Amino acid sequence: MGKNVIIVGGGFAGISAAKKLAESDFNVTIVDKTNHHLFQPLLYQVATAALSPGDIAMPIRGIFTKQKNVTVVLGEVTGIDKESRRVHLKNGSNLPFHYLILAPGAQYNYFGNDSWKEHAPGLKTLSDALKIRERILFSLEKAEQIIDPAKRKPFLTYVVIGGGPTGVEMAGSIAEIAKRSMMRDFRNIKPEETQIYLVEAAGRILNGFDEPLPEKGLKTLKNMGVEVLLNLPVQEIKKNGVQVDGQFIETPNVIWGAGVKASPLIQKLGVEIDRMGRAMVEPDLSIPGDDYIFVAGDAAHVKDEDGNPLPGLAPVAMQQGKYLGNFIKNGQKPSQRKPFRYVDKGTMATIGRAKAVADIRGFKFSGFFAWLMWGLIHIFFLIGFRNRFRVFAEWIWHYITFKRGVRLIAKEEEG
């Protein structure tokens, strides 16, 4: 009788672990709040109408169609019973486990200011991306109908908070829409009227990259018309704007990319957590005092060789998932498990059309070549031939025509 492996979360860590265990003697169950695996690095492109949800999301069932030992459950975990070795779901059912991998990911951290969440959505789920897309498209439509340029300025103002890769990618993308590719479709509003701000509390953007990449990123953003405001923590976000030290930026268009924290599910484990709510795990990713419960991905605090925590990036989550899948499959006893070691193959961020920054094993690239590489690598990691083909086709189209393919507001105009 096979042992039960329960994987909570169908993101990079969870899917990678499940793939290693596919077609083995283990009964694998993946539990996720949505029915799909989301390729998060490209989520900002759904938010800026360059890709469809269907291009970057794959039903988890579809990934494991042929692997009969993998079951998928659409559900939300509400509790973990370490005594009886069961996971409790919101719908009242519970699932027994021999091995439990918790990879529930992260969410946006508003540093205690939960009221900001409504005015400044983050970008973690498809639902987020579609909400942001709607807001951006709607702001252009709204501005188009206002005759007085002063009155329409707020609708043509966009504030992205957070100078990490997500914030930089969003700001660059919005600059493309609002300053270039879509403006020919409008008759009243002009590209010069739009104002995009990238607001960062620290002294520089792209903090995880080494120079000269942050400098190049900054230059590219400025050339695209994004105003980068450094050393400016956000003080207040209201429905009609953002307050930073020295000015109030009037706009309904605020996007949050400034801080993440681990899923609150981690708090139910009763283990030590860091400032971001991530579980402090052992070298084999198990939780202290339990050799058969693991945390992986953005929700885990794992130290690298220098004693620093690994960042919440896709390749980190993927490697952790594979690592766990491997030793579970090999039936290694706790004492036999080697510690997890992350192999850093490089990081990259794109900054709008045909520009990116990349650091591959110390070789630093920027500009068009980096962007090509970024594109190819992201397509490679997409799950499923169909998705790869669609995204590739969509990008070719966009590059040639400057048009963004998916500019849809699905809800009807509400006055």
User: Closer CB to a copy of itself, residue 151 or residue 184?
Assistant: 184
User: Closer CB to a copy of itself, residue 280 or residue 379?
Assistant: 379
CB of 403 to a copy of itself, least distance (A): 7
Distance CA 392, CA 385 (A): 10
- What end-to-end distance do the CA atoms of the chain give, in Å? 61
- C-alpha torsion sign, points 302, 303, 304, 309: positive
CB of 412 to a copy of itself, least distance (A): 5
Q: Is 243 helix (H, G, I), strand (E, B) or coil?
A: strand
Cα 152 to its chain centre, rounded Å, is: 31
Q: Give the Å distances, CA to CA, from 67 to 4, 20, 154, 210, 412.
A: 15, 11, 52, 42, 42
CB of 203 to a copy of itself, least distance (A): 37
Residues that bind a copy of itself (CB under 8 A): 32-36, 52-55, 57, 59, 61-62, 64-66, 68, 71-76, 90-91, 93, 125-127, 130, 137-138, 141-142, 144-145, 182, 184-187, 386, 389-390, 393, 397, 403, 405-413, 415
Contact predicate 259/67, CB 8 Å: no
In order, the DSSP letters of 267-300 are GGG-S-B-TTS-EE--TTSEETTEEEEEE-GGGE
What lies within 8 Å, CB to CB, of 318 at 6+ separation is 12, 13, 16, 381
Tokens of 122: 């983050």
User: Closer CB to a copy of itself, residue 114 or residue 414?
Assistant: 414
Distance CA 131, CA 389 (A): 26
Distance CA 309, CA 110 (A): 21
Which of the residues are catalytic? 169
CB of 117 to a copy of itself, least distance (A): 15
User: Closer CB to a copy of itself, residue 47 or residue 273?
Assistant: 47
User: Closer CB to a copy of itself, residue 66 or residue 361?
Assistant: 66
CB of 68 to a copy of itself, least distance (A): 7
- C-alpha torsion sign, points 86, 88, 92, 93: negative
CB of 323 to a copy of itself, least distance (A): 27
User: Closer CB to a copy of itself, residue 65 or residue 84?
Assistant: 65
